[in-house]
């Protein structure tokens, strides 16, 4: 029997926001003391009625399954074990929904906006202008020599905008029965394109169009779900292959009391989840990878809401990204690009930096009316305030902190590339914050953290 916690996804449009309210009652994560694993410990665990299904010796973790509901208690007396807690499966995107609306490959010739760029949808990517990406390109800084791991739902590996920069040899999946590119995840494809779609006279361009993409599937392309053990495995793998940047456009609000609706689980399970996360992020940081993650879309004050904790955004060594976007860009392309998205989480202690994630408030005032600006005829005006990127069938718009995070990851890739492709996570974070554009009060604020990400050019 496999059950799941009820959690919330991060993408606002084109993705499911809720999960079935159940728990993986038979699946657990075991954390050892001193980050050590040995064959004797595995035998001791199996003697208590558990089966070891996976190992992360780098961080002293085991994944186990057991039919014994008291497995926590059975293992608690083992002097080598720090804790045993329930594995949690997060459903992030609904398999029945895509980015919306979409432009298919067959429709790519439909009246693209007039542009001086040969990537025919580039003019609709206002987020690149917001983070000063084109100015970096003009200086020869395009992400070359930088490896970005995208932990998500997979990728359409044959997409013309993605294939040139995708490292197929290193891309992998931690979802049983699924390859990294089959089935291709719409969410992961969208995120990857924002980071590093190639500048190839076709479609869209990524913020860092010459960076290398490594797709690490930690969410199913079929169900949109994945256990936290897969996420931990993906993070460690990305660090071990020397990823310079790890983008995590995924997450959930974890109740501190571990109560999900009518379901209550030991509070220690949720506390240990963050202990495990911080053990993994510490390892990743030491290996030299910077972690950038979406802050969440619940319009929640991370500074004062003590009942919930955002995973992984509030983990150690994680750069948490809030979301900005224009309102009415399709009517006036000179409009302010730095309007705080109404859905974005905020809070000075929980937000490090902001990125272009898109807005949709125009839908409430302008409805589905088309735009009269330099846009594609026939689409509702509000979509142009969202983020356009790659999808498995072409291109599509989406909004959320899931879209803000890859903009910041792309900027991080530009910064690392500018510095010869070798920077420590501390150095990358320092430069990100230093170059960020203050858009609210001077210094760090509760909406945009240190400011809106910028290439510095």
Domain ranges of the chain: 27-86, 102-435
Helix (H) or strand (E) holding 46: helix 39-47
Reply yes or no on whether 152 is catalytic: yes
Q: Categorise residue 288: left if φ over 0, alpha if ψ from -120 to 50, beta otherwise.
A: left
Q: For 54-68, 105-119, 143-157, 353-367, which range has the lowest pLDDT when averaged over its residues?
A: 105-119
Contact 319, 293 (CB under 8 A): yes
Predicted TM-score (pTM) of the model is: 0.93
Q: What is the mean pLDDT of the chain?
A: 89
Residue with tokens 């699924």: 178
Q: What is the mean pLDDT of residues 338-357?
A: 96
Pick the catalytic residue: 16, 173, 186, 402?
Answer: 402
Pick the catalytic residue: 87, 119, 123, 152?
Answer: 152
**pLDDT tens-place string over residues 152-179:** 999 999 999 999 999 999 999 999 999 9
Tokens of 160: 């013309």
How confident is the model at residue 447, as a pLDDT? Answer: 95
Residues 6+ apart with CB under 8 A from 340: 322, 323, 324, 346, 354, 447, 448
Reply yes or no on whether 187 is catalytic: yes
Reply yes or no on whether 402 is catalytic: yes
Name the DSSP letter for residue 187.
H
How confident is the model at residue 35, as a pLDDT? Answer: 87
Looking at domain 27-86, its CATH class is alpha beta
For Cα atoms 16, 328, 185, give the angle at the middle one, nearest 5 degrees: 25
Looking at CATH, the fold of the domain delimited by 102-435 is given as Rossmann fold (3.40.50)
Tokens of 116: 């001086």
- CA-derived radius of gyration, the chain: 21
**pLDDT tens-place string over residues 277-335:** 999 999 999 999 999 999 999 999 999 998 999 999 999 999 999 999 999 999 999 99
Q: What is the mean pLDDT of residues 68-89?
A: 93
How confident is the model at residue 45, as a pLDDT? Answer: 97
Pick the catalytic residue: 128, 159, 187, 450?
Answer: 187
Q: Closest Cα to residue 92, out of 224, 267, 208, 183?
A: 224
Contact 30, 81 (CB under 8 A): yes
User: DSSP assignment of 114-147, as one string?
Assistant: P-SSSSTTGGG-HHHHHTTHHHHHHTT-S-TT-E
At residue 99 the predicted structure's pLDDT band, cuts being 50, 70 and 90, is low
């Amino acid at each position: 029997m496999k059950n799941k916690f009820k959690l919330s996804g991060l993408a606002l449009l084109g993705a499911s926001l809720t999960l079935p309210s159940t728990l993986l009652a038979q699946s657990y994560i075991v954390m050892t003391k001193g980050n050590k694993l040995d064959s004797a410990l595995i035998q001791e665990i199996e003697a208590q009625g558990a089966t070891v299904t996976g190992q992360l010796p780098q961080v002293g973790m085991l994944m186990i399954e057991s039919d014994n509901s008291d497995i926590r208690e059975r293992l608690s007396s083992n002097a080598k074990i720090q804790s045993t807690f329930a594995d949690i499966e997060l459903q992030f995107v609904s398999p029945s929904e895509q980015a919306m609306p979409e432009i298919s490959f067959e429709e790519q010739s439909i009246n693209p906006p007039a542009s001086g760029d040969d990537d025919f949808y580039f003019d609709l990517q206002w987020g690149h202008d917001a983070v000063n990406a084109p100015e970096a390109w003009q200086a020869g800084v395009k992400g070359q020599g930088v490896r970005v791991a995208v932990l998500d739902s997979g990728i359409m590996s044959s997409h013309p905008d993605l294939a040139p920069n995708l490292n197929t040899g290193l891309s992998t999946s931690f979802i049983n029965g699924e390859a990294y590119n089959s089935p291709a995840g719409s969410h992961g494809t969208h995120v990857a394109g924002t980071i590093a779609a190639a500048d190839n006279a076709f479609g869209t361009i990524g913020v860092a169009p010459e960076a290398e993409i490594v797709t690490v599937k930690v969410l199913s392309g079929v169900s949109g779900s994945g256990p936290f053990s897969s996420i931990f495995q993906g993070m460690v793998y990305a660090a071990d292959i020397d990823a310079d940047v790890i983008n995590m456009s995924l997450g959930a609000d974890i109740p501190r009391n571990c109560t999900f609706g009518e379901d209550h689980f030991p509070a220690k399970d949720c506390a240990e989840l963050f202990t495990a996360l911080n053990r993994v992020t510490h390892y990743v940081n030491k290996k030299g990878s910077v972690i950038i993650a979406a802050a969440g879309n619940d319009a929640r004050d991370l500074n004062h809401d003590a009942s919930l904790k955002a995973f992984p955004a509030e983990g150690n060594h994680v750069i948490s990204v809030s979301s900005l976007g224009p309102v009415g860009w399709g009517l006036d392309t000179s409009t302010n690009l730095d309007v705080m998205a109404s859905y974005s989480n905020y809070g000075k202690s929980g937000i490090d930096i902001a990125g272009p994630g898109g807005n949709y408030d125009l839908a409430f005032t302008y409805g589905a009316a088309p735009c009269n600006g330099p846009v594609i005829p026939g689409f509702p005006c509000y979509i142009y305030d969202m983020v356009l990127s790659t999808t498995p069938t072409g291109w599509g718009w989406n909004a959320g902190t899931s879209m803000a995070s890859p903009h910041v990851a792309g900027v991080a890739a530009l910064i690392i590339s500018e510095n010869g492709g070798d920077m420590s996570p501390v150095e990358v974070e320092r430069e990100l914050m230093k170059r960020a554009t203050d858009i609210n009060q001077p210094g760090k604020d509760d909406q945009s953290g240190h400011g809106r990400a910028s290439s510095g050019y």
